[in-house]
């Protein structure tokens, strides 16, 4: 029997582990580089090593929490579950047909990938939050320098947030046609650092891009809205 799907390396999911001296120089953590290809024979030694990797990362998490995060530890557990599922299907299912076995492992694999994607998204948001903290400190400490835009922190767009704040002078179509589709960690296209020149439309576009209303209220005047998106 073989692994029916690819079981990725933990380091592929968390790139901070790649080429990291603290990992490379500590052999017990090399399990983050282990992987299995679809079609590889079931390997009980690899299964045991996956269990040891969880234990080793748990110990490292206590010593190096900034490097071995909760998400990395969780990924190691999920990877172990994926390997255990393949071995369990082989050891305990009664003569499973190949299609049924593949479906069982594929469903588990899909759940693992979905969980890893969720972890990736959360890490991207955490990274954006930390970058924005530095940007805010820079903007406030250098008031005469051109403002640096915040990076996008929330996924998706903010059309639903912008519409209630749209004054009559801004046509609805102007907002509906604005589709920046920004990814977390990016800045608005054609960002204008001259906050004093912002119009209501400019501010509403920033709300759409960031998916954040920045605490702007419906009855706020333009001069009150201007500084909110660029603290």
Nearest to 31 by CA among 12, 56, 13: 56
Question: Is residue 147 situated within a structural domain?
Answer: no
Looking at residue 92, its pLDDT comes to 75
Considering the chain, what is the average pLDDT of its residues?
88
CA atoms of 227 and 208, how far apart (whole Å) = 16
Looking at residue 125, its pLDDT comes to 85
Same domain, 65 and 134: yes
Distances (CA, A) of 132 to 138, 150, 196, 213: 10, 6, 21, 16
Nearest to 208 by CA among 157, 171, 166: 157
Question: Is residue 151 situated within a structural domain?
Answer: no
Q: How far out from the chain centre does Cα 221 lie?
A: 35
Looking at residue 225, its pLDDT comes to 94
Question: Is residue 108 situated within a structural domain?
Answer: yes
Joined together, the tokens standing for residue 207 give 């709300």
Provide the number of structural domains found in the chain: 2
Distances (CA, A) of 18 to 31, 123, 147, 206: 12, 16, 34, 35
Nearest to 126 by CA among 156, 158, 154, 157: 154
Residue 143, class by beta-carbon neighbours within 10 Å (0-12 exposed, 13-18 middle, 19+ buried)?
Answer: exposed
What mean pLDDT do residues 153-158 have?
92
Q: What is the pTM of this model?
A: 0.54
Looking at residue 171, its pLDDT comes to 82
Joined together, the tokens standing for residue 131 give 């970058």
Looking at residue 53, its pLDDT comes to 94
- pLDDT of residue 79 exceeding 70: yes
Looking at residue 98, its pLDDT comes to 57
What mean pLDDT do residues 192-210 have?
93
Name every residue whose Cβ is closer than 8 Å to that of residue 9 and which is 6 or more positions away in sequence.
32, 33, 34, 35
Query: How many percent of the chain have pLDDT more than 70?
Result: 94
What mean pLDDT do residues 32-46 have?
91
At 97, is the pLDDT very low, low, confident or very high (cuts 50, 70, 90)? low
Same domain, 119 and 19: yes
Domain boundary among 105, 138, 171: 138
Q: Which residue has the higher pLDDT, 12 or 103?
A: 12
80 is in which domain, residue-wise?
10-138
- pLDDT of residue 165 exceeding 50: yes
Looking at residue 95, its pLDDT comes to 47
Question: Is residue 4 situated within a structural domain?
Answer: no
Joined together, the tokens standing for residue 96 give 């499973």
At 102, is the pLDDT very low, low, confident or very high (cuts 50, 70, 90)? low
Question: Is residue 1 situated within a structural domain?
Answer: no
Question: Is residue 106 situated within a structural domain?
Answer: yes
Same domain, 87 and 175: no
Q: What is the pLDDT of residues 116-144, one digit of tens each?
A: 778 878 888 889 999 999 999 998 999 88
């Amino acid at each position: 029997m073989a692994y029916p799907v690819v079981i990725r390396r933990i380091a592929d999911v968390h790139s901070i582990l790649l080429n990291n001296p603290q990992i490379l120089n500590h052999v017990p953590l090399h399990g983050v580089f282990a992987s299995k290809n679809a079609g590889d024979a079931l390997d009980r030694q690899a299964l045991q090593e996956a269990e040891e990797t969880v234990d080793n990362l748990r110990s490292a998490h206590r010593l190096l929490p900034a490097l071995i995060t909760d998400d990395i530890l969780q990924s190691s557990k999920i990877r172990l579950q994926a390997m255990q599922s393949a071995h369990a299907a082989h050891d305990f299912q009664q003569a499973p047909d190949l299609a049924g076995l593949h479906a069982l492992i594929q469903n588990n694999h899909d759940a693992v990938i979905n969980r890893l994607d969720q972890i990736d998204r959360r890490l991207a948001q955490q990274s954006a939050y930390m970058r924005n903290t530095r940007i805010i400190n820079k903007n406030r400490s250098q008031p005469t320098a051109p403002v640096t835009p915040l990076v996008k922190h929330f996924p998706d767009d903010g059309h639903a947030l912008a519409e209630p704040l749209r004054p009559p002078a801004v046509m609805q179509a102007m907002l509906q046609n604005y589709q920046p589709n920004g990814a977390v960690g990016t800045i608005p296209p054609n960002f204008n650092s001259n906050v004093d020149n912002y119009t209501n439309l400019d501010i509403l576009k920033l709300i759409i891009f960031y998916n954040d209303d920045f605490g702007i209220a419906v009855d706020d005047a333009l001069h009150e809205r201007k500084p909110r998106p660029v603290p």
